[in-house]
Amino acid sequence: MTFTRDKKMHAVYISLGNISKGVHHKHNAHAWLLLVKVPISKFSQTTFPGSKTAQESIPGILGQQLFHKCMKRVLEPLRVDQRRYYIVPSPDGLSRCCMAILMAWIANLKEQLLIAGVQSFSCPVCLATYEQLEEHECLGVCRGEMILIALKEVHCNFPSASVYEFQQEVKKLGLGLSSSFEEPCWEGLGIEPYVFIKQDILHGIHKFIWDRLSEWLKKMLGVQEMDSRFIVQPPISTNRFTRGISKLSQITGQEHHAFQKAILPIIAGHDRVDNKVTNAMLSLLDLAYLVQYPSLSESDMHKMEEALSTFHGNKAVFVDNGSQEPSHFRIPKLHGLHHFVDDVVSGGTPGNFSTKTLESLHIDMCKDPYCALNRHEYDEQILNYLDMHDHLAMCQAYESYRQRKKSHVSAF
């Protein structure tokens, strides 16, 4: 997230898997804590040695190394050799013996690639390369052990290699690794990246549908026709696109839902829209609704797979009508749709893994405190601000508990 132009960081939040979904989704329910702020440096003041390519690559490599070194330290208590049992008081009055493990890491695609340590325009789950992204079947999984062996082998063969030379040597292996760090932060956690990296509904489905379908609609219907069709739609919910959508670059969560509800009425009856276009768009919308189900049965998962097959069976129509460039369905987010079904098996419904709530936490836990302070040594000030607000919230909760108890006693 960005505070101002030159002040950026990765904000990492933590929560517990046994808190119910309804509570997780309320950003004011205190179900999430700001765990760490990982700095992002551009090394703008540093001149690096080597060729021009090396000089351009090194800031990016060091940025990735910084992220993994910071997160390795943060995740240390979760490592298999560091795990401990804690006696935790339970709401039912009993004490329970608990051990913390990493179950899921929710992030957008760019961050997923950084965590897994694979190249851009590839899949962080199954290591599909850019050329393989058009495959609509899972190509295997990204085995952490395989990555660790490859990195250690290069380190042993080239012990004195610079960060840039190390990256070049790993790239020569052709495994699709970004090769920017020697020790991934998830090493020793006892869980594979393909298990803990979960697909995110907000970026993986809603933003994908917005980006692609709005682009296809623009090219199929024409900008003016598309906008006028959105403008004349009756209000389905509180959100209406009264000025069309062509000038919108980003939309809110509610607008994503309103957009998806309006797509079929928008395309209905247009000369360039045939059954294939309708089926392709409908299947993506079906998938978007299915992944939001509060619970999913095997038959629902089968429907998700069917929706994807229908889309892939009809997608060529967008190339035929000129909406999509030929042979250009190598879209990482389109490929990632297949992994939603895998995530249901390993971690429950995709609704558990959305960054929608986390996006609003950025405002409460980072941007608002930053704006409220004098921005001098802002890291420490933000932590003090959050501590103070946590104490006030606890005090408020205790006071309302006391009031409830008092009124309960006086009622008898």
Instruction: Please report whether residue 177 would count as binding Zn ion according to CB under 5 A.
Output: no
Least distance in angstroms from the C-beta of 331 to Zn ion? 12
- Whichever of 126 and 287 has its CB closer to Zn ion, that residue is 126
Closest to Zn ion by CB, 164 vs 340, is: 340
- Minimum separation from the CB atom of position 333 to Zn ion (A): 11
**Closer residue to Zn ion (CB): 24 or 203:** 203
Number of chain positions touching Zn ion (CB under 5 A): 4
Query: Which letter, b or e, does each residue of 381-411 get, where b requires 16 or more Cβ atoms within 10 Å of its Cβ?
Result: bbeebbeeeeeeeeeeeeeeeeeeeeeeeee
DSSP string, 247-311: T-S---HHHHHHHHHHHHHHHTT-TT--HHHHHHHHHHHHHHHHTT-SS--HHHHHHHHHHHHHH
Give strand pairing partners of 33: 14
Residues 84 to 143: which contact Zn ion by CB under 5 A? Answer: 123, 125-126, 128
Residue 147 C-beta: closest distance to Zn ion, Å:
15
Q: Report the first-to-last Cα separation within the chain, whole angstroms.
A: 53
Query: Rounded to the nearest whole angstrom, what is the least distance from the CB of residue 411 to Zn ion in the complex?
Result: 59
- Look up tokens 């209000």; give the residue: 235
Query: Could you tell me the maximum CA-CA distance found in the chain, to the nearest angstrom?
Result: 82
Closest distance of CB 154 from Zn ion, Å: 24
123 or 280: CB nearest Zn ion = 123
Indicate whether 334 belongs to the interface with Zn ion (CB under 5 A). no
* 193 and 144 Cβ atoms separated by less than 8 Å: yes
CA-nearest of 163, 183, 168 to 68 is: 183
- Least Å distance, CB 11 to Zn ion, is 26
Nearer to Zn ion, 120 or 275 (CB): 120
Which residues contact residue 76 at a Cβ distance below 8 angstroms, ignoring those fewer than 6 apart? 82
CB closer to Zn ion out of 227 and 343: 343
Which residues of the shown chain bind Zn ion in the complex (CB under 5 A)?
123, 125-126, 128
